[in-house]
Structures are given as structure tokens and as C-alpha cells.
Amino acid sequence: MLHSFRRENIFSYDESCEKYPLFEKIINDKETGGIKACINSILPNSSIFESSDFIEYTLYFLEFYPECPGLLILSTLSDKLSHDEEIRLMKQNFNISIDLAFNKYCIDKNIIFDFIAWAIENVKNKNMRIAKGLSEELIQKYSDRRLARRLLKKLPSDFNSESAWLLLNILYKRCSQLLTLDGGKDGKRNREFS
């Protein structure tokens, strides 16, 4: 559960900030830890990550809500990703936000996988190599066809070798199961599909 909302501190920080409604939506989205609010509010306006005051606000709110998956992801998307330490921290925060979404908030996998695909697509706009690495790591970690499909739709084909291989492997296993179905009374393999 998110920490209690400290309205007096936030208003005193800068009441007139036009980005404040976004953070309020994220913080008040207790059902998905700010994930849906991030996707719905930021998706049409990806240039928001380039604003230095957006980065400051994200870090400010993260101090009050350190276990909010939405804010953690925003902090990773706000990083410039130009130094090894920034990249390491970004990956760490990215993984923590996903773990919190699964384990603390118990958010539906479909919502989380949409969130992952959306976030990786935004990372790709800053650093293609890092986005590809994140994509591969997450496919290996979760091995889920729904995530693989989303990444195949959102990312360029050269990013998706892990996703494609995962889906092909699942298809191969299903085909193998069909071919090894009980072939009759004697329990021999069904040769009809061979």
C-alpha cells in the first residue's frame, strides 16, 4: 500500500505545477500502483521525459512513495542513461517496480506486461541497446507468451529474437504434445501426424 498522501508538503512545493495532476493520479492509483495512470497519462506525451522539472518532481514524489511502481518506472524513464551507474540504477529500479507490481500489488499479468512493453518502448527512444537488453532479460525471467507477444508488437524486429524464440519453443512443445497423444489401445504414438 502506498504511504499516506502528504498533501500539505506537495502543495507547498509548487501548487501551480501543471504536471501535478499526473502525479496525483499516479499516487492515488492504489489498485495498480500508478501503472495505469502512467500509461494513460504519459503515453500521448512521451516528450514529457525530457523536461528537467518533470525529473525533479518524479524524484521528489519518489521520496514520499518509494514503493510506487509507477513512480519507479517514471524515474527510470527520466534518466539520461549516459553513464554506467545511471544504467545500473535504471535497471534496478525497473526490476523493483515490476517485482512490486507482481508481489505487493498483485496486479494482473496482462496489465504488467502492457506496462513493461510501454516502458521498454520509451527506453528504446533513449538507448536502443539498453532497451534490447531489458527486453531479453525480462523474457528470460518471466518466459510468458503474453509478454513475448506484446514485445513483438511494440519493438522493432531486431529486438525480438528472445521473444520470437520463446514463442517458437512454446509452439514446438504444443506440437510435440499433439504428436505424442495416445494413439489407441496399445498406447503407441499417434502416427497420423508424423
Q: Give me the mean pLDDT over the 136-159 stretch.
A: 84
Residue-wise pLDDT tens digits, 102-124: 999 999 998 888 888 888 888 88
Lowest mean pLDDT segment, chosen from 29-33, 77-81, 168-172 = 77-81
Task: Report the pLDDT value the prediction gives residue 97, as an integer from 0 to 100.
Answer: 92
44 pLDDT above the threshold of 70: no
Share of the chain above pLDDT 90, in %: 11
Query: Would you say residue 128 lies in a domain?
Result: no
Instruction: Domain of residue 74: give its range.
Output: 7-107
**Is the separation of the CB atoms in 115 and 39 below 8 Å?**
yes
Average pLDDT along the chain: 78
Share of the chain above pLDDT 70, in %: 76
85 pLDDT above the threshold of 60: yes
Query: Would you say residue 187 lies in a domain?
Result: no
165 pLDDT above the threshold of 70: yes
Query: Would you say residue 2 lies in a domain?
Result: no
Report how many domains make up the chain. Answer: 1
Total-model pTM: 0.71
Query: Would you say residue 151 lies in a domain?
Result: no
Query: Would you say residue 181 lies in a domain?
Result: no
Q: Which long-range contacts (CB under 8 A, 24 or more apart) does 132-136 make?
A: 132/158, 132/159, 134/91, 134/94, 135/159, 135/160, 135/162, 135/163, 136/161, 136/162
Q: Give me the mean pLDDT over the 127-154 stretch.
A: 87
Query: Would you say residue 34 lies in a domain?
Result: yes
Lowest mean pLDDT segment, chosen from 40-49, 93-102, 104-113, 148-157 = 40-49
Residue-wise pLDDT tens digits, 2-21: 333 344 444 444 543 555 67
Confidence of residue 184 (pLDDT cuts 50, 70, 90): very low
- In this structure, which amino acid lies at residue 147? L
Task: Report the pLDDT value the prediction gives residue 64, as an integer from 0 to 100.
Answer: 86
Beta-bridge partner residues of 182? 189
Instruction: Copy the grid coordinates of residue 118.
Output: 510501454
Query: Would you say residue 89 lies in a domain?
Result: yes
Query: Would you say residue 72 lies in a domain?
Result: yes
